[in-house]
Structure 1
Amino acid sequence: MPSTRDYEYLLECENVIGVDYDEDDHRVTVFVSQKRPRSVLGDADDVETRLTDAGDDVAVRVVDVGYGETKEGFDALSILEPVPEAAHGRQERHRPIPAGVSEINANSTAGTGGPYPARVAEAAGANGAWADDVEPGDLVRLSNNHVYARSDAADFGEAIRQPSPEDSGGPDDEVGELVGYVPIEDGALVDVAARSVDREQESESYYELEESWPTGVRREGYDDLRGETVTKTGRTTAVTSAEVEATSASVRVDFGERGSILFRDQLVTGYMSEPGDSGSPVFLEDGELVGLLFAGSAEQTICNRIATVEAELGVEVLAAEPDDGTSDERGSGERRGDESADVPVYATAMDHTVSVDLEAPEPTLESLEFADEIRRARPSR
């Protein structure tokens, strides 16, 4: 069965900056920076000719992403300048700090702080790099590599500010340090980094979203999201929503001096972001956390799958802070609305002594002594 990667050769065509294969419809969606008539295209740049020459009998949909010119890729949003003004309240100093407000590396411009809490996993991520003093079980906040780690250019320990420097954040606004990231390179699956936290000044809330969100963390079934509505909260455009157009896209993203980088298995939605929104958490309509926003155009937004973020970096996104540093049972995909995840299950262990008069017509219970040890049994994962 074909997959999106089988059609990545179409990225060689002029103006093509993204492709996605829909298995259900046996259709390829091609995202172009500038839509041009076939009559002006050479065979090497004509998508339908390339497909025919390759023997691919597949339906084609061409989507203009709105640049109006030839581009090498979608924009990594928080490296663009000038950065638009922040939405009301997003540029302010927040303590405790919610996700979705202005936050970025002290040596950069403006971005968005993303999901918190995320817990460093016992097993290392597939591609995560971490500072030496980070230990399994530590809590961190997530955003993009190009927000916290300056597209691989930052050193561990560089300060993160809330609000961002572009929004008047100064040395007194430092809220953590860069402690982990996944390097940005061709074939990457995520644009993610992590900063250290002081739990007393962090909030597990998401600015201007429902208090019950996240209701869970999406870890499977991403192909089912095509056509679903998602919502993000971010520094520049606040709370916006769009429909998912692609679920396993291969896209090129422009990182300025780094050039165009190929990312795979990306979610593509309609427009819902501007420069400064990079790092925004993305949710389904029921509050399930599904993505991490990092790139886009005038018509589309690109998001990492949140399950891939976890696997690549080596973290577990939790729905709430653990009370004692142990696992939060709602952090592994269970929803707050699911009673099986919320209601404690109790088991009782008893030591007992029973005395019975065997000469009596019927056994008589003389005494029963309890030594109760009650423990909370977490739902199985």
Structure 2
Amino acid sequence: MARISRVLEDETLRLMSLPNVVGVGRGYKATAGVRTSAECIVVLVKQKVPGRVLEAQDMVPAEVRGIPTDVVEVGEIRFLGARVGAADHGEENVSSTVGAPTSGSCARRLERMRPARPGVSIGHYQTTAGTFGAVVWDNKTGEPFILSCNHVLANATSGRDGRARAGDPIVQPGAADGGTVERDRIAVLERFVPIHMSGRVPACMASRAAEKAMNNWLRATGTSARVEIVIRQFPFAANTVDAALARPLRPDSIEPSILDLGELRGVTEPELGMAVRKSGRTTGVTTGEITSVDTTVRVVYSGNVTAIFRDQIVTSPMADGGDSGSVLVDAEVRAVGLLFAGSDRSTIYNRMTSVLDALGVTT
């Protein structure tokens, strides 16, 4: 394991630069579709392509510095916010092959709930909807906070783009499920870990308004020129978590018991093959297993805008759009990860220990 980790540290950037590669991590080698107990470098690709149509330098090598590789087709990995409003927010469903929820009605997860419980719809007032992941407590003050993803509670902000700021309204249910600031505000944005993206990131609402006004003026003058305001992000910054906190307006408006799972019983590290569950806004309680750890993934936000995340957990498909923010737990209901992205063949989570450390909270 230590050797694979060292090789990953040295070779991930090169492997990620290969065409079609969307992730690189550590997992078990599969032979003829059967998983073995041998660890390998797992290379996640958007689509498997026959070797005969690839240039030699574009092929994933059979081994890297003596360690075997395993190429796994996962499709395009996207942030898993709810689909409604996808054109504005870069959030889509993934038409997941995830099985039916194992328990609980999903309809109630989309409704207003007081006290609200983890597993239900929530979101920043300018986003669609995601999942209330857990109640966590500030390490210094002991105050309770709502935990979810940055792209759920903070509009996928980098902290410099004007997309969100501390004090913004958080609604439960999320806007995609009918939540409004006037009726359903449950919290305000407390703090977040910035998301660093590459490509052309859509500007904030104020910038879009200015863009519209300038284009109206240009149109009135008869010119064909048009203005587009975008924010360019640093192209190679790597993220480790997509996470944010919201401060409830009233402490008694939330409770810590996760819908259909119960209260968290601590935190643990992910292990290959670990049986896991999550409780999410869209698909309810689903089960799966961890297929890759120490994984670097490229996640699509919108169009050509992507974000790189390091040290991630990959599971079998367990989620769909709107499940972002769900907490991944083991059989003993210990927190393992925070769901934020996925495809029709896999689901991606931040390590919970990384999330808690970054935000200065505990479960």
User: Structure 2 length as normaliser, TM-score?
Assistant: 0.75
Counterpart check, 1:203 vs 2:255: yes
The AA in structure 2 aligned to 1:120 is D
Partner of 2:244: 193
Matched, 1:6 2:15: no
Matches of 1:7 and 1:300, distance apart in 2 = 23
Q: 1:19 aligns with which of 8, 16, 24?
A: 24
In the alignment, which residue of structure 2 is the partner of 1:146?
151
Output the CA distance in 2 between the equivalents of 1:80 and 1:184: 20
Corresponding position of 1:242: 288
Q: CA RMSD in A?
A: 2.1
Give the equivalent residue in structure 1 for 2:78: 75
Q: Match of 1:275, SS?
A: coil
In the alignment, is the contact (CA less than 8 A) between 1:252 and 1:260 conserved in 2? yes
Q: Are 2:132 and 1:113 aligned?
A: yes
**Higher RCO by CA contacts (8 Å cutoff, separation 6 or greater):** 2
Q: Which AA in structure 1 matches 2:166?
A: F
1:58–1:80: structure 2 CA closer, same or farther, 3 Å change rule? farther
8 Å CA contact retained: 1:79, 1:255: no
- Output one character per residue of 1:209-264: Cα deviation in whole Å (capped at 9) or x when no partner: 2x3x312222xx43xx1001110000111110111001211111112268211111
SS at match of 1:196: strand
Q: Partners in 2 of 1:273 and 1:110 — Cα distance?
A: 14
Match of 2:199 in 1: none
Q: Indicate if the aligned counterparts of 2:82 and 2:323 stay in contact, CA closer than 8 A.
A: no
Query: Within the alignment, does 1:183 sit opposite 2:229 as a pair?
Result: no
- Please name the residue that 1:90 is paired with: 109
Cα separation, 2, equivalents of 1:307 and 1:191: 13
Contact kept, 8 Å, 1:310 with 1:316, in 2: the verdict is yes
Of 252-261 and 101-110, deviating more is: 252-261
- Measured after TM superposition, the shift of residue 294 of structure 1 is 0.2
Query: Paired residue for 1:214, among 264, 275, 281?
Result: 264
Letter in 1 for 2:239: A
Look up the match of 1:369. Answer: none
Q: Which whole-Å CA distance do the structure 1 matches of 2:67 and 2:110 have between them?
A: 47
Distance 1:79 1:98, change over 3 A: closer
C-alpha distance 257-160 of structure 1, shift in aligned 2 (>3 A): farther
Structure 1: 4+ residue segments shifted above 4 A: 79-86
What is the letter of the counterpart of residue 7 of structure 1?
Answer: E
Which one of 66, 80, 86 corresponds to residue 57 of structure 1?
66
- SS state at 1:160 partner: strand
Residue equivalent to 2:31: none
> Aligned residue pairs: how many?
287
Distance 2:57 2:132 in 1: 42
> C-alpha displacement at 1:308, in angstroms?
0.6
CA distance in 2, matches of 1:112, 1:92: 12
CA distance in 2, matches of 1:106, 1:294: 18
Does the aligned pair in 2 maintain the 1:230–1:284 contact within 8 Å? yes
Match of 1:39 among 52, 62, 68: 52
Partner of 1:99: 118
- Report the equivalent of 2:209: none
Unaligned runs of 5+ in 2: 29-36, 87-91, 96-104, 158-162, 197-236
1:216 alignment partner, SS class: coil
SS of the residue 2:19 aligns to = coil
Amino acid at match of 2:73: D
Give 1 or 2 for the bigger CA radius of gyration. 1
* Paired residues of 2:27 and 2:291 also in contact (CA < 8 A): no
What do residues 140-160 of structure 1 show as CA deviations (whole Å, max 9, x unaligned)? 111000000111121111111
- Residue number in structure 2 paired with 1:264: 310
5 Å-filtered alignment, 1:306-325, equals 306-317=352-363
| Cα contact 1:144–1:193 (8 A) shared by 2 | yes
> Are the counterparts in 2 of residues 240 and 272 from structure 1 also a CA contact under 8 Å?
yes
CA deviation vs aligned residue, 1:12-48 (integer Å, no higher than 9, x gap): 1111100113598451101111111111111232011
CA change 1:205–1:196 in 2 (3 A) is same
Helix, strand or coil for the counterpart of 1:90? Answer: helix
- Distance in 1, matches of 2:120 and 2:354, equals 23
The residue type paired with residue 216 of structure 1 is: G
**TM superposition score normalised by structure 1:** 0.71
Taking a change above 3 Å as real, the CA distance of residues 39 and 257 of structure 1, as seen in their structure-2 partners, is closer
Contact 2:25 2:295 in 1 (8 A): yes
Aligned to 2:167, the other structure's residue is in SS state: coil
